[in-house]
Amino acid sequence: MGNIILTLYISHGAPTSLVERTKIHDIYESLGKVLTARGVDTIVVSSPHFFSRGKFEVESREDIPCIQDYYGFPEELYKFSYEAKNNTKLVSEIVEASEEKGLPVSESTAWGLDHGAWLPLYFMFPKRDVKVVPVSMTSADAKEHFRFGEAIKSAVDKIDGAVAVIGTGSPVHRLDLIKYGYYGGEKFEPAARFGEKLIEVVASGDFERILKIREEYPALFQAAAPEGKLNPLYTALGASDRNTFVGKTLLHEFMYYSVSLVVTILSEEPGLRDVLAKLTSTRLPA
- DSSP per residue, 13-81: --GGGGTS--HHHHHHHHHHHHHHHTTEEEEEEEEEEEE-SSSEEEE--SEEPB-----S--GGGGG--
What is the per-residue pLDDT across 19-76, written as a single tens digit (0 to 9) for each?
A: 888 889 999 999 999 999 999 999 999 999 999 999 999 999 999 999 998 888 888 9
pLDDT of 6 > 60? The answer is yes
Dist CA 103 CA 121 (whole Å)? 28
Beta strand ranges found along 86-128 (DSSP E): 105-108
| Per-chain mean pLDDT for the chain | 93
What is the per-residue pLDDT across 114-148, written as a single tens digit (0 to 9) for each?
A: 999 999 999 999 999 999 999 999 999 999 999 99
- With vertex at residue 27, the alpha carbon angle to CA 23 and CA 31, rounded to the nearest 5 degrees, is 175
Q: What are phi and psi for residue 179, nearest 5 degrees?
A: -125, 90
Instruction: Indicate whether 102 belongs to any domain.
Output: yes
Confidence of residue 279 (pLDDT cuts 50, 70, 90): low
Instruction: Indicate whether 213 belongs to any domain.
Output: yes
Instruction: Indicate whether 77 belongs to any domain.
Output: yes
0.85 exceeded by pTM: yes
- With vertex at residue 179, the alpha carbon angle to CA 177 and CA 183, rounded to the nearest 5 degrees, is 125
Confidence of residue 285 (pLDDT cuts 50, 70, 90): very low
- With vertex at residue 36, the alpha carbon angle to CA 172 and CA 232, rounded to the nearest 5 degrees, is 25
The pLDDT of residue 281 is 42
Instruction: Indicate whether 138 belongs to any domain.
Output: yes
Instruction: Indicate whether 98 belongs to any domain.
Output: yes
Q: Helix 115-124 vs helix 23-37: angle between axes, to the nearest 10 degrees?
A: 70
Dist CA 52 CA 55 (whole Å)? 6
When pLDDT is averaged across residues 163-172 and rounded to a whole number, the result is 98
What is the Cα 228 distance to its own chain's centre?
11
Instruction: Indicate whether 283 belongs to any domain.
Output: no
CATH number (domain holding residue 139): 3.40.830.10
What is the per-residue pLDDT across 229-256, written as a single tens digit (0 to 9) for each?
A: 999 999 999 999 999 999 999 999 998 9
Q: What are phi and psi for residue 226, nearest 5 degrees?
A: -55, 140
Number of domains in the chain: 1
pLDDT of 277 > 90? The answer is no
Q: Give percent above pLDDT 90 in the chain.
A: 82
Instruction: Indicate whether 36 belongs to any domain.
Output: yes
The pLDDT of residue 198 is 97
The pLDDT of residue 64 is 97
The pLDDT of residue 141 is 97
When pLDDT is averaged across residues 95-100 and rounded to a whole number, the result is 98
pLDDT of 280 > 70? The answer is no
Instruction: Indicate whether 284 belongs to any domain.
Output: no
The pLDDT of residue 156 is 98
* Higher-pLDDT residue of 209, 20: 209
The parent domain of residue 220 ranges over: 3-277
